[in-house]
Homo-oligomer: A and B are copies of this chain.
């Protein structure tokens, strides 16, 4: 699994890796943040080949970590709509830095225009992500205590 059974140190990096230190969790966040995907089957068919049982477990874990929320779809009761919380959206800088590093050193198919925007107008790109989630109530509630 992603997380060792006993908690390690309280180092911020160690704690973060207990949450998303596996090959799949951040891909789900990416699907939500950048690809606009919202439902189980959309994640499942996003192209990376995650197994359905693993996906189900990661979504539960992300929900418990307060990074996503799960709502019933008003129009179709079979569907569940997943959304990022603010805590989830605040992973944007992490994802952006990963994209920049990966684009610099690995052979990726990232759109050059997007990468260039991330590199030269980081703050703009980040606040753009925030805005996308703030408008039209796409941002999930919760975190109110």
Contact = CB atoms under 8 A, between A and B. Distances in A.
A51 to B, nearest CB: 10
Interface in A1-56: 2-4, 6, 8-19, 21-24, 26-27, 30, 47-49
B104 A90 contact: yes
A27 B14 contact: yes
A33 to B, nearest CB: 10
Q: How many copies of the chain does the oligomer comprise?
A: 2
B15 A102 contact: yes
17 contacts: A2-B23, A3-B23, A8-B47, A8-B49, A9-B48, A10-B107, A10-B108, A12-B108, A12-B115, A13-B30, A13-B95, A15-B102, A17-B23, A17-B26, A87-B105, A93-B97, A96-B97
